A and B are shown apart, each in its own frame.
Chain A
């Protein structure tokens, strides 16, 4: 089976600092993957490249069945192609209700004209309520999302990602600042999502990665250091030296 996303030989330099160095990475259509690595390993830069925020100096990023290059597309085109991204900090539209946040994310026509003349559809309403149920915010639909707790905002953002119906989900430190119960709920959400699509989770927290129970990629100084199950990579001497040993 061909891969959904194939990143090969990608390098990027910021003012002489090589943030990503000849990185190759690929993920299948329905797979959960965790990316770990020390600070400055290039985890966030990797996401920036895939989502079109940063252009690499060399290398290729191929996407989907047609092996389309993502490097020619801008952020919104990549998002429409099916890549969803969750940022480290919860970024929801605080001034708007949970309902409006989810409605905005629903996979629909996104052109200005189309949106201007769109009318609320009953099917969308049902979908939004389903999603809210799934992320545990059914009771909060009419509240402004600015009033939600930190954990609820994280879920809302995951809900918005699911509403986008992406084929690949990039999730940056979803468990940061969450309580234990909140973490468990988040793990369930991500595992559930990975049944139908590819999910890449960037995480610092080993416990959280262990709970995800998936293949792990270790990044170091902008390239892949090791790849495999968590137990496999934690036994790798290189990984111990650069990351776990500290």
Chain B
């Protein structure tokens, strides 16, 4: 009972060790302070991948552990990116505008500077006034707070409405898709206040850090992403390891039974939904400065479906499975769609992976679902011997854990 957290969760310790080794390896091979074997752009790709792994952990918490197939978590990821992007864009434009107006004969007033920033940022959508939602854009502290608060509050309100009405299963999935679609469509409008389909750009340039080469900045973000992933993993492992984990897995397997035990199922779902939205927001806030640009297409419904595919391929219901799935699939995706994968000439037709990668991904998803429901992470069971009880027969119910054929006959 009194064993330490790591003794009870050896996989968390192994994961942190692997992550630390990986971070060290990338650091010594980086262009910034290492040998330069890894290009700056690839460091960025790896940093972004770590952020995707973090959002995959959030997805695994909500889907693999609490059994809620949310197909809207990339909306929270995107919102986190938008929140930090607002500050990055404002602060950098402010620096440029101030520098260019400093040579004017009459020193500009504060209002003139703000107007000039507005013209710079919103000229592209034919406006120059700051919308209300940019009220805090000049403060890094407040925008960082909003990285957490905006996705968190949206999840809280949406979750409260959905869970209170006992919307479950595929209906909830559709509702979350509708949420992310509605948000994307809203942001596509020019008067949404976030530059419509242009999105926010130039996010890779940190304000006041023009003299610092991108090689250094990319490495800093890589470290920050690795730290966030490590902390996120520990947090998730802590949440699911104790009695709380027991309860949410109970909700996944038999919601009504948990309710009759006296637990407020809605409260638990809302808690996990909001927590994972916050994790997703933080992941997004680290991802988009590395990507450099965010636009509403990033939170289109398909993005959240990809997220579910990563977690399914990696193996849901285990945290390292989600990380492996997100890392493997997104890196492979970069490789195939980046034109690096050699095309296969068949004589009459040439398989060009840029076009065929999605077909390959789709087929892998179907194959994993059919033949390896535990995903890549399930392979580890063969080493640790953690195999499920042989329960003789197929599931009678929709979930694993429900009564099975031959048990019912006993």
Contacts and interface: CB of A to CB of B under 8 A. Distances in A.
Contact of B401 (A53, A94, A104, A105): A94
Nearest to A107: B262
A54 to B, nearest CB: 13
B318 to A, nearest CB: 12
B167 to A, nearest CB: 16
Contacts of A85: 260
A91 B261 CA distance: 11
Interface residues of A, number: 38
B260 A146 contact: no
Interface string B385-401: 00011010000000011
B262 A110 contact: yes
Interface string B229-266: 00000000001001110110110011011011111110
A149 B401 contact: no
Given A112-B244, A112-B271, A93 B250 contact: yes
B262 A116 contact: no
B258 to A, nearest CB: 8
A65 interface: no
A104 B410 contact: no
Contact of A120 (B1, B259, B267, B268): B1
Interface residues of B, number: 33
Interface in A117-156: 118-120, 122, 125, 144, 146-147, 149-150
B259 A103 contact: no
Nearest to A99: B246
A21 to B, nearest CB: 25
Contacts of B388: 144, 146
Interface in B243-300: 243-244, 246-247, 249-250, 253-254, 256-257, 259-265, 267-268, 271
B407 interface: yes
A110 B401 contact: no
A214 B260 CA distance: 26
B403 interface: yes
A164 B410 contact: no
B271 A76 contact: no
A105 B247 CA distance: 10
Nearest to B242: A118
A206 interface: no
A93 B248 CA distance: 11
A234 to B, nearest CB: 31
B74 to A, nearest CB: 25
B264 A146 contact: no
Nearest to A160: B261
Contact of A118 (B243, B265, B389): B243
Given A104-B250, A110-B262, A177-B410, A93 B257 contact: yes
A103 B246 contact: yes
9 contacts: A75-B256, A76-B259, A85-B260, A91-B254, A93-B246, A94-B253, A111-B267, A144-B388, A160-B261
Given A85-B260, A87-B257, A96-B250, 12 more contacts: A76-B259, A76-B261, A89-B408, A93-B250, A93-B253, A93-B257, A115-B243, A120-B243, A125-B1, A146-B388, A146-B389, A177-B410
